[in-house]
Amino acid sequence: MPRRRAARPAQRPLAPAERIVDKRDGQWNVRPITGATSTKSYTCPGCLTAITPATPHVVVWPVEKALLSADAIDERRHWHTSCWARKH
Q: How many CB atoms lie within 10 A of CB 37?
A: 9
Q: What is the pTM of this model?
A: 0.74
19-75 residue pLDDT tens: 999 998 889 999 999 988 888 999 999 999 999 999 999 999 998 877 766 777 778
Measured CA to CA, the distance from residue 82 to residue 2 in angstroms comes to 49
Give residues with Cβ within 8 angstroms of 25, minimum separation 6: 88
Q: Are 57 and 76 in contact (CB under 8 A)?
A: no
Return d(Cα 85, Cα 42) in angstroms, integer.
Answer: 18
